[in-house]
Every structure is written in C-alpha cells, then in structure tokens.
C-alpha cells in the first residue's frame, strides 16, 4: 500500500510537471505572438509616418482623374461622342482646319522651308552596301527527299 501511495504521488507530481510545461509553452507562444504584434504595429506606424491618409486620398484622386482623362481621350479617338453638339462642333472645327485658304497653306510651306537643317534631326544613313540575297528557286522542291537526306546525314554523324 505504501508503494501504491508513492506511485500515486509521483504520478500527481508528474502530471503537475506536464501541466507546468504546457503552461510555459503556451505563454512562450503568447509572448511570440505579442512580439510579432508589436513589430507589426511599429511597421504600420512607420508606414503611416511615411504616407498619411491625406496623401493616399490625393494619390487615389489623381489616379481617378488620370483614368477619367484616358477614357475621355479613348472615346474621342474611337469616335464616341456623348451628344450631337459635340459631334457637330468637332465637325465644324475639322472643316475649318481642312478648309484653310491657299495663302495659309503657302505660308505654312514657306515657314517649313525656312527651317534650318541643324534644327531637324534625321537618322543616319547606313554606309554598308546592301546585302543581295540569292534568287528564290522557282521549281518545286521535294521536301520528303530533303528530310531523308537530313536523317541520313544525322545518322552518319551519330556513328
């Protein structure tokens, strides 16, 4: 009986030790989680110092404005107009541009002729002679024979 009591006491002590180990592991995990939360908070605070909510709002507004401008340009280029007034206004503007008087056209030609050659940047012309390619055969080529010849050549190389 005495030994049974000792075994029971030892089992109770062992159970207590296991419970303590579990609690220590749990607290260790809690400490790691708290440290990770602390580091995450510090990182977020650092990011907030670099960019405030107002900066983000301004950036989003600028992006929205740019997208709106892009859509407007795309619709104009694609010929989509919101109403007939815009279409008639653009057509009249086009007619005004296309129906310029001859004196305006001649004036524009004179202005373009008066440009100095150093103001115009043209690409360099290559100095190499043009490569002349051999003529393309006009007769029919038997592809099967060529493939057989290549197979024979490859087999000879492997040997």
Neighbours of 81 (CB within 10 A): 14
The SS3 of residue 130 is coil
Q: Which residues contact 75 (CB under 8 A, 6 or more apart)?
A: 81
Gyration radius of the chain over CA positions: 42
Q: Two tokens at 124? A: 């360099």
Tell me what the pLDDT averaged over the chain comes to: 76
128 DSSP 8-state letter: S
pLDDT reported for residue 119: 60
Asked whether the whole model's pTM tops 0.75, one would answer: no
Task: Pick the closest to residue 76 from 63, 90, 62 (CA basis).
Answer: 90
What does the pLDDT look like over 32-78, one tens digit per residue? 999 999 999 998 888 888 888 888 889 899 999 989 888 887 877 77
Share of the chain above pLDDT 70, in %: 64
Query: Please, are residues 81 and 87 in contact by the beta-carbon 8 Å criterion?
Result: yes
The alpha carbon of residue 76 and the mean position of all alpha carbons in its chain are separated, in whole angstroms, by 26
Q: How far apart are CA 99 and CA 105, in angstroms?
A: 10
What does the pLDDT look like over 76-135, one tens digit per residue? 777 665 667 777 777 787 777 777 544 454 444 444 555 554 566 666 776 776 667 677
pLDDT reported for residue 79: 66
DSSP string, 52-117: -HHHHHHHHHHHHHHHHHHHHHHHHHHT--SSHHHHHHHHHHHHHHHT--HHHHHHHHHHHHTS-G
């Amino acid at each position: 009986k005495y030994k049974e009591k000792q075994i029971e006491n030892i089992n109770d002590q062992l159970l207590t030790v296991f419970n303590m180990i579990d609690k220590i592991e749990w607290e260790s995990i809690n400490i790691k989680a708290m440290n990770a939360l602390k580091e995450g908070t510090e990182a977020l605070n650092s990011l907030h110092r670099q960019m405030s909510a107002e900066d983000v709002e301004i950036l989003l507004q600028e992006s929205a404005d740019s997208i709106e401008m892009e859509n407007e340009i795309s619709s104009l280029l694609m010929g989509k107009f919101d109403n007939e007034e815009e279409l008639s206004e653009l057509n009249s503007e086009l007619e005004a541009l296309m129906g310029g008087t001859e004196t305006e056209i001649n004036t524009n030609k004179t202005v373009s002729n008066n440009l100095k050659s150093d103001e115009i940047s043209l690409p360099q012309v290559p100095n190499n002679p043009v490569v002349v390619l051999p003529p393309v055969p006009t007769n029919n080529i038997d592809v099967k024979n060529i493939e057989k010849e290549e197979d024979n050549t490859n087999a000879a190389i492997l040997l």
